[in-house]
Structure 1
Amino acid sequence: MRDRRLGPSLVFLTGVMVTTLTSCSGFGPRSAPDWVQGMSQEYPADHYLLGLGQAESQEVAEERAY
């Protein structure tokens, strides 16, 4: 004999899965941020400086930063 409670449980589980999958999909296509392609209008490169240095002490690393 078949269990009658399987139907509502299956419907509930399917509803939860559909809700979860659709809520994770977002609200339409998004374009990539400007910085992915290079320059950003919001954060222009002339306002920021990046230095990289490596040494055993921070003072020497700051001197070697380029």
Structure 2
Amino acid sequence: MSVTEVSLSMNVVDTAVPRWVAQSDGERAGGSGEGEPLTAEKQRIRQLEAENRQLRETTRR
């Protein structure tokens, strides 16, 4: 499906979907994505996840 088709099916403006994708990609990469973390807890979870990834990479070497 195209961005336009997805947007129409969800009844949202066509700029919303690319923003959501960018946000998701940023979060999956360990960052905060496009926006700021919503809570201190969410920020701490992201920090711990990044530390876990770093530790896993270190132990693989």
Could you say which TM-score interval applies, normalised by the shorter chain? 0.3 to 0.5
The structure whose RCO (Cα within 8 Å, separation 6+) is larger is 2
More helix by share: 2
Query: Larger Cα Rg: Structure 1 or Structure 2?
Result: 1
TM-score computed with the length of structure 2 as normaliser: 0.34
